[in-house]
A = this chain, B = another copy of it.
Amino acid sequence: MARLSTGIMELNKKLQGGIPEGECILIAGEPGTGKTIMGMQFLYNACKEGKKCALIATEETPEKIMIHAKALGFDLEPFVENNQLSMIRFLEMRAYDVDEEYNSNYMQIDDISNLIHMMQDDIDVIVLDNLGTFSIGVDLKEFRDKVDMLAYLLSKQKRTSIITIDATAHELTHKIAEYSTYGTIRLMVKENPYTGKMERFMYIPKMRGTKLSMELIGYDITEEGIKLSPPKTNK
């Protein structure tokens, strides 16, 4: 099975090379756990490997995301300039919409369907950050059906995708998106009772076609992005 690098070397090893190509992976976590950084790291690597990519950012402007990514060593600008990376300006569409008049129907999850259809045929890699925006105020059955369809179409079109979802939306939808995707990575923060510090872990409950070790994988958000941390002894 072909794999695409996550952009995190040690994580690739744990995934037998990376994310299965042409499949759709979910990343879930609370604020500050590095969902967006993980998406950028993946996107940067995919660009470097010559893939045609698209970023759909629902909570930040492309400019801000690019500044953050660049500060961590992932300069996305050249790829935007040579049209290898498309930025879809979702936050601005939402903000102007909300500002002018409040229209409760303006951002149905149908938009996501439209996005898929509008996207150029030659896009190989998609990062959608974050799916939670499309879940609030939507019926659970409808959300499940739409996410099933989204994952189905992305996979049928053989686009490798990372979809992030914030922990709030994930809980409110009973983690139902995990059933639709090919794999899931959960990002967590837990207090270490010995040191009183909070520590970061990722856990991969599901990645089809991949032998998983079932461990909690420690990681840090360093000045060069996400890195797996060496195993602790007193854990």
In the assembled complex, A176 has its CB within 8 A of some CB on chain B: yes
B172 touches A168 (CB 8 A): no
Residues in B whose Cβ lies below 8 Å from that of A104:
139, 141-142
Residues in B whose Cβ lies below 8 Å from that of A206:
31-32
B98 touches A102 (CB 8 A): no
A59 touches B197 (CB 8 A): no
Q: Which of A41-49, A77-85, A118-126, A207-215 contacts B (4 or more CB under 8 A)?
A: A207-215
Residues in B whose Cβ lies below 8 Å from that of A130:
179
CB distance from A186 to the nearest CB of B (A): 10
B141 touches A140 (CB 8 A): no
Nearest opposing residue in chain B for A168, CB measure? B174
CB distance from A24 to the nearest CB of B (A): 12
**Those of A197-220 within 8 Å (CB) of chain B:** 197-200, 203-209, 211-216
Nearest opposing residue in chain B for A211, CB measure? B223
- Contact A137-B137, Cβ < 8 Å, known A99-B113, A149-B95, A179-B132: no
A216 touches B189 (CB 8 A): no
Nearest opposing residue in chain B for A194, CB measure? B235
The CA-CA distance from A222 to B205 in the complex, in Å, is 15
Number of copies: 6
Nearest opposing residue in chain B for A72, CB measure? B209
A215 touches B197 (CB 8 A): yes
Nearest opposing residue in chain B for A99, CB measure? B149
The 10 closest A-B pairs by CB, nearest first: A32-B206, A137-B141, A32-B205, A31-B178, A198-B214, A98-B149, A136-B141, A168-B174, A31-B206, A95-B152
Show 19 A/B contacts (Cβ-Cβ < 8 Å), sorted by A: A30-B178, A31-B178, A31-B184, A59-B148, A61-B152, A91-B148, A94-B148, A99-B113, A102-B110, A130-B179, A132-B179, A133-B144, A137-B140, A137-B141, A168-B179, A171-B174, A196-B235, A198-B215, A200-B214
